[in-house]
Structure 1
């Protein structure tokens, strides 16, 4: 009897150690995707500002989820999401409308850059599904009720002025009940009047828009905050890295020292 008790206690202790080990390691597949050799050294230097592990963990992205990445741009997050979801989940890259009418230069350039990324490494990106996400009219970006998570990185300041209702309702249709929207964007101080065109937006503006269209605000995180960002850049947030737009060689060190923008990280749940 004593032997049985000792054996049971040992089994419980080993089990507890095993669980603790897993907890200490965290999400191994996500870590592996972030550390993958397919990511360039230049992209890795931005991890300190974009905090991909903490951000995707906060949004609750699981390896078997169906995920929409809204307007993935150059694919910085695609490089992490694609291998992470490759074996058990699905990644949908929702690019700008490819209709015959000409796109604005930055939109068409974004689509082309994203396609080049996908073509560059079929072993990593061949399973990425391409859809179109309109801003001027509601579009179906996935089968209704089929998506677990929608991720939007530094796009809200664009679509808020280009058709926010169309965008949010398309997300609402695509998501499963209880599905998540995770948004990261440049944060304007709550007590300051907004300055159109500078790339920053108010948190409350985003909360109001989402809650008006069938979502519950589920919380925010300071993961991507940067208190060193003074937000008084005459040509907007794009003067900060990684763009450093319009800066002379003499000006760049001061902006590099600030780092990337102060960002809100917000989670919403479909009602």
Structure 2
């Protein structure tokens, strides 16, 4: 498999967070991974809504697993998974290929991922970047090699691009039989009107894509539920924190609501 290795030759990005000593001991368990100094304060502040330990425990992530994180974005969960898996396991970051003219957000996210991996040599050795474009025939990802695939708030992107079926088929193919697919996604409840490209999906939509690919639903959790979220905002889910797309307009109101209501679903490849 052709992969891209991140090495010390990459340029470090500036960051107010104090890097851990490269010789610092790696976390022994999930609780230590969530509280370790590999994490930035800005990400730790989001734990109130992301519930990382509870979510990853629900998905059954263990330190000796091979895990594929899909579209890791700025690396909220990567900061936890990379050191957690660096002793016994392997983390693959399935990152969409950069467009010819990437946005500032995409560039910044790439730098943040590089920063995470450069904090520790063992993390570098046990974390690899692979391209993720489900409808791209250039993908050279082996089948049946991963113990778990996890995705956090990305399904709406594939629905918008009409690549959801191909994406879930990709997840099914890379997982070993018995492997787990863990999905967290912005949720709108049945009975409410879903605005296209709002970032919200019905649970039944995500379950449909997964089961159509061959997965079996084995668990649902309300770990990441937020009953304050009414899912009917002017700029969709991005009206809420941490994005605040409306700027200062009604910011106190949206801050009080908090981050989005989210479904948390666990599937297994038979």
Give the TM-score range, shorter chain: 0.7 to 0.9
Highest relative contact order (Cα 8 Å, sep 6+), 1 or 2? 2
How far apart, in 1, do the equivalents of 2:106 and 2:42 lie? 23
TM-score for the superposition, normalised by structure 2: 0.83
- CA shift digits 1:147-197 (9 cap, x unpaired): 000000010010123211221111111100011110001001111232101
CA deviation map 1:226-252 (0-9, x unaligned): 00112121111111111111221x621
Contact 2:38-2:80 within 8 A present in 1 as well: no
Q: Contact 1:138–1:170 at 8 Å: present in 2 too? A: no
Pairing partner for 1:105 from 85, 103, 106: 103
Indicate the residue corresponding to 1:151 in structure 2.
150
Partner of 1:20: none
- Contact residue 141 and residue 174 of structure 1 kept, 8 A: no
* Matched pairs, number: 242
| CA pair 192-106 structure 1, distance change in 2 beyond 3 A | farther
Q: Which has the larger Rg?
A: 1
SS at match of 1:126: helix
Unmatched 5+ residue regions in structure 1? Answer: 1-26
What residue number does 2:255 align with? 256
**TM-aligned CA distance change 1:136 to 1:64, over 3 Å:** same
Alignment match, 1:121? 119
Q: 1:147 touches 1:176 (CA, 8 Å); kept in 2? A: yes
Q: Structure 2: give runs of 5+ residues left out of the alignment.
A: 1-26
| Counterpart position of 2:68 | 68
SS at match of 2:180: strand
Q: Which structure features the higher share of helix residues?
A: 1
| Distance apart, 1:220 and its partner CA | 0.7
Q: Which residue is equivalent to 2:173?
A: 173
CA-CA distance at 1:106 after TM superposition = 7.0
Decide whether aligned partners of structure 1 residues 246 and 141 sit closer, same or farther in structure 2, where only a CA change above 3 A counts. Answer: farther
Match of 1:47 in 2: 47
Q: What TM-score, normalized by structure 1, do the two folds share? A: 0.83
Question: How far 1:28 sits from its partner (Å)?
Answer: 5.6
Runs of 4 or more above 6 Å deviation: none
Match of 1:21? none
Q: Distance in 1 between matches of 2:69 and 2:140?
A: 11
Go from structure 1 to structure 2 and tell me whether the alpha carbon gap of 1:104 and 1:117 turns closer, same or farther (over 3 Å shift): same
Counterpart for residue 266 of structure 1? 265
Q: Give the conservation status (yes or no) of the 8 Å contact 2:199–2:236.
A: yes
Greater shift after overlay, 130-139 or 67-76?
Answer: 130-139
What does residue 3 of structure 2 align with? none
Distance 1:203 1:57, change over 3 A: same
Mapped to 1, the partners of 2:212 and 2:237 lie a distance apart of 28
Range 109-118 or range 182-191, more displaced: 109-118
Q: Which residue is equivalent to 2:233?
A: 233
